[in-house]
Structure 1
Amino acid sequence: MFLGLNKKLCAGLIAAILIFPAGGLAPVAAQEIPNDFTAIVRQKIPAVVAITTRQIIQGQTTLDDFFSPFGNPGPAQPQVREALGSGFVINPQGYIVTNNHVVADATEIHVVFSDKETLPARLVGRDPGTDIAVLKVDPRPNMTTTAWGDSDAVQPGAWTIAIGSPFGLGGSVTVGVLSARSRDIQAGPYDDFLQTDASINRGNSGGPLFNARGEVIGVNTAIVSPSGGSIGIGFAIPSRTARNVVDQLIRTGRIERGFIGVRLQEITPPIAEALGVSGSKGALVASVEPGGPADKAGIQAGDVITRFNGKDIQSVHDLTLAAASQKPGTKTTLTRNRRGSQQEIALTVGQRDDEEVQTGAVPNPQAADARLGLSLSPIPDEARQQLRLQPGTTGVFVQDVAPNSLAATNGFRPGDVIVSANNRNVTQPSDVQEEWAKSRQRNKPLLLRIDRQGQSLFVAVARS
């Protein structure tokens, strides 16, 4: 369940599931310190459910089959895999919120209420991008529901209450505080998690995280743990995100996200220097999708986007979230920095298809030492199709990369195509050599734009 989502965290991230309550947002006042949480728990436990799933895996052979004393065991038999999670009821019609990873690929889904009644559930819709799914059961008489709270109004230090079915122990309650907001744990392109120290374990995935007013402010999704158990670092999808996704899934069964049609990468200090921009804030446009919203607005590769829809953009992640949160067709503005000149331009947000690969950061190469270390040639005609080059693409072909060279330590690979050097289109190896010499004379990084299997990115090579 979301194990090992981020190797940079010393431990695996383990998913924990919650269901979101329906209802209006209530203003959050300063919290009073409660004597206990029994009233909230008594009211909300009937709305929190355990979720059991079964998945039939066809034709799976086990090691026992190979070492059977009876020789050839015959055709592999279907295997049954079972999983546990949590969820919560959001309206009297029987809609239940949980995590996508709890129900993905399940052939059977059942919901267990606090009074032990078990009902079959059908999948209404799911969104892998945010790890949210919505289920539907036949309504029960006087069904208890939850209400959404305002995750944006909850500040670190506020009380949080998690209810779920860790290890299948339904109705388990843990209490803590909000530890932090807007955590990016690199679980997906739209990470914006709440962090809590309320104990969350396996089986909590999809369950609700309540505030001290008994409103759902998050959906418990993952933990950091070296052992598989809680160490007080848990993550929940904020209600702001979850409620929007849930409403769309119930209404249409699919998710609409804003799309501007760019591939982005972070700005390293050498790239910032080569581009003539100050600092490393913003998102660098590595390539622009032809005919997309950004292309129509005049965005070009090499532009740095510093503001979007009135908000500062500090990183690729900021722009990914900001663009995705816009409704397709929305007219907005962005600020671009092109060679040190700032300009605000208008843009109409497009529609991102559910199947489309999400925009993410290009891995940042690190500057290193020694000579450039590239063996270059014109692009072989017979290799153009294999390299996925667009018709008319010009550049020079990387035949080989010298070990331990500047090019090697900056991530160059044989088969890369260098399209431009210092914003100058190149057509022969001498073009690259000339720009490399100029950069060394000016003691500035060499800015190269490369095409790698149809994807475009910038690399700044600095002489040590």
Structure 2
Amino acid sequence: MSDSQQTDPAPAPVPVPRWWSRPGEPAEAREAPVPSPRAGSDADQDTGREAAQDTDQDAAPAPAPVPRWWSRPDGPVELREAPVPPPRAASGDADPETGPKYDPWTAGPLQTVDRGKAGPRRIRLRRSLALGIGAALLAGGVGGYLGVLAERQANTRLELPQAASAADRGRAPDSVAGIAATALPGVVTLHVKGAQSSSTGTGFVLDGQGHILTNNHVVNGAQNITVTFSTGESVAAELVGGDTGYDLAVVKVTGVRGLRPLALGNSENVEVGDPVVAIGAPFDLSNTVTAGIISATGRPITAGGDKGDGSDVSYVDALQTDAPINPGNSGGPLLDAKAQVIGINSAIRGGGDDGDGGGEGSGQQRGSIGLGFAIPVNQGKRVAEELIRTGRATHPVIGVTLDMEYSGDGARVGDKGEGGKPAVTAGGPGARAGIKPGDVITKVDGVRVHGGDELVIKIRAHRPGDPLTLTVLREGRERTLEVVLGSANGS
């Protein structure tokens, strides 16, 4: 064959598309399905057969087939290059010679870690995480235990809310607490033993020499007297003097330091409704404080003794109070809002009943019914001064004998005195004023009197030498007489 007749070389065969294995399988090429020719395409059957025959001939090796993806079946035949994953091992681990390893599922490269640098950090993170979890578990366990313990304690121990302790516990001086705080150091409890009985009463300090004022009926007939102060200190006391007519007595203690005398007020300044505080030892309960008001002033009462001869009767122009006073309060102070003594508690009711039934232990345990009576401090001061000076008290008198059996209104002068003596003492205050037997005295300084007891009480409320104006009813006619009080020794 000539050179001119030499034919052109056969065209290279069309590369056959290949499919890659799915991830995780060995990397091997498989033949991709060859689609059959379609009508209207440019493929030639003869050319295709010829090309197929040429593949059997020895020729230069064809280049490695490039994987391609086919277009959608209903679209034009078009080949596109498929993404070529990098080489990988079957297990997905990195090959030391080929490079990093790849994720066998995503075909993406895995993150590489420099163990020399990141290893310790990862270990520290893991340890921190473990420690955090352990601490959380421990805290949860402890919290649960404490919760159970708190629940058990709540079931066995109940604590209610309470106000905190006050930093300033002071009270106003004119409050009951303030008055009590001022007066209590000067108030004492008396325990008295006699030949056949014992009694309990109260008293208060008069001066720094140890003189203490109390009721006469508390220490009457005493053989042994013990005084107990608010601090609890107890010392023996001796009787200085007493008077049954005023129901007042003074005892004295020695060798006691730090005595706190109470301030004396003025009973003439007392008004109904004024607040008062009583301190005493009712039923031997020392340092008991009660409070009330002045219910009345100038209330005539008598206590103890025999009214027939008046030998042991106490006549008191008393202050009435509703502050609770009970057996054992007798002799204690009645205080005003300035913590000043305005009265000496003596009785819990009139009509001849003793203020505390002879004191605790006498068998008579009468209690307070809101009718308490106190000797005005003005009268108590005068009597105490006389008892300290002489051991006896003087009584103001008008020098007449009263008919205590008279039932009419007023105080009637008797027809005869004791032992047949004249009812009006010759040369006495009454005789000088013009009083005659049978006269009925109806007023003292303009204030009505309704009986002999009231007249004695009104007179004893004054001092010897005081002038008085008496209204006298004689033979149906009233007369006004001026009298100057005389003096007589008391019991």
Q: What interval of TM-score do these two structures reach, taking the shorter chain for normalisation?
A: 0.5 to 0.7
Partner residue of 1:252 out of 390, 393, 396: 390
Q: Quick one: distance in 2 between partners of 1:223 and 1:182? A: 15
User: Which ranges of structure 2 fall in alignment gaps of 5 or more residues?
Assistant: 1-171, 304-312, 350-355, 357-363, 416-422
Name the residue aligned to 2:151. Answer: none
The correspondence of residues 395-410 of structure 1 with structure 2, limited to 5 A, is: none
User: How far is 1:144 from its partner?
Assistant: 0.9
* Alignment match of 2:192 (pick from 53, 69, 84): 53
Letter in 2 for 1:228: R
Larger Rg computed on CA atoms: 2
Listed as ranges, the gaps of 5+ residues in structure 1 are 1-32, 58-80, 272-279, 356-464
Query: Is the CA contact (8 Å cut-off) linking 2:173 and 2:179 kept in structure 1?
Result: no
Aligned to 1:204: 329
Q: Secondary structure, in 3 states, of the residue corresponding to 1:145?
A: coil
Per-residue deviation, 1:322:
3.5
Residue 319 of structure 2 is aligned to residue 184 of structure 1: no
Counterpart residue identity of residue 354, structure 1: G
Counterpart for residue 424 of structure 2: 289
CA contact 2:263–2:341 (8 Å) conserved in 1: yes
| 1:118 match | 234
Which residues of 2 match residues 241-320 of structure 1 at below 5 A?
241-265=379-403, 280=409, 282-287=410-415, 288-293=423-428, 294-308=430-444, 310-315=445-450, 316-320=452-456
Query: Aligned partners of 1:96 and 1:321: how far apart in 2?
Result: 25
- Indicate the SS of the match to 2:435: coil
* Structure 1 match to 2:457: 321
Assess if the C-alpha contact under 8 Å between 2:191 and 2:227 holds in 1. Answer: yes
CA contact (8 A) 1:51 1:110 kept: yes
CA-CA distance at 1:39 after TM superposition: 2.0
Q: CA deviation at 1:156?
A: 2.5
**Number of residues of Structure 1 aligned to a counterpart in Structure 2:** 289
**Structure 1's 133 and 227: CA in aligned 2 closer, same or farther, altered over 3 A?**
closer
Cα shift at 1:289: 3.4
Shift of 1:37: 2.1
Using structure 1 for the length normalisation, give the TM-score.
0.56
Letter in 2 for 1:147: A
Q: What secondary structure does 1:262 align onto?
A: coil
More relative contact order in 1 or in 2 (CA 8 Å, sep 6+)? 1
> How far does the alpha carbon of each residue in 1:28-64 deviate from its partner, in whole angstroms, 9 at most, with x for none?
xxxxx9884222211211100011111134xxxxxxx
Aligned counterpart in structure 1 of residue 473 of structure 2, from 337, 360, 369: 337
Which letter maps to 1:121? A
2:40 corresponds to 1:40: no
**2:490 equivalent to 1:354:** yes
- Quote the Cα distance in structure 1 between the aligned partners of 2:193 and 2:457: 34
Equivalent residue in structure 2 for 1:229, among 367, 374, 378? 367
> Counterparts of 2:272 and 2:436 in 1: how far apart (Å)?
40
Q: State the match for 2:198 in structure 1.
A: 82
From the superposition, tell whether residues 49 and 189 of structure 1 become closer, same or farther in structure 2 (CA, over 3 Å).
closer
Match in the other structure for 2:243: 127
Q: By how many angstroms is 1:267 displaced?
A: 10
Measured in 1, the distance between the counterparts of 2:390 and 2:412 equals 34
> How far did residue 126 of structure 1 move?
0.5
Distance 2:206 2:470 in 1: 36
Partner of 1:152: 268
Deviations 1:255-288 (A, max 9, x none): 111222222248989x6xxxxxxxx4x4322232
- TM-score, normalised to structure 2, is 0.53
CA distance in 2, matches of 1:131, 1:166: 19
Deviation at 1:329, TM superposition (A): 5.1
2:319 aligned partner: 194
The Cα offsets for residues 280-324 of structure 1, whole Å up to 9 and x where unpaired, read as 4x432223234251235442222233444x444433344323433
Contact preservation (8 Å) 1:125, 1:133: yes
Aligned residue identity for 2:456: T
Identity among equivalent pairs (%) = 41
User: Which stretch shows the higher mean deviation, 149-158 or 121-130?
Assistant: 149-158
Amino acid at match of 1:349: L
Question: Given the superposition, is the C-alpha separation of residues 115 and 193 from structure 1 closer, same or farther in structure 2, using an over 3 Å criterion?
Answer: same
How far off is 1:214 after superposition? 0.5
**Counterpart code for 1:146:** L
Counterpart amino acid of residue 42 in structure 1? A
Q: Which amino acid aligns with 1:305?
A: I
Contact 2:278-2:323 within 8 A present in 1 as well? yes
RMSD: 2.8
Does residue 141 (structure 1) correspond to residue 277 (structure 2)? The answer is no
CA shift for structure 1 position 142: 2.8
**Counterpart Cα distance in 1 of 2:223 and 2:365:** 30
Q: Could you say if the C-alpha distance between residues 320 and 51 of structure 1 is closer, same or farther in structure 2, counting changes exceeding 3 Å?
A: same
CA drift at 1:219: 1.1
Shift of 1:203: 1.4
Higher strand share: 1
Shift in alpha-carbon separation, 1:247–1:301, aligned structure 2, 3 A = same
Task: Rate the CA distance shift 1:329–1:114 in 2: closer, same or farther, 3 A.
Answer: closer
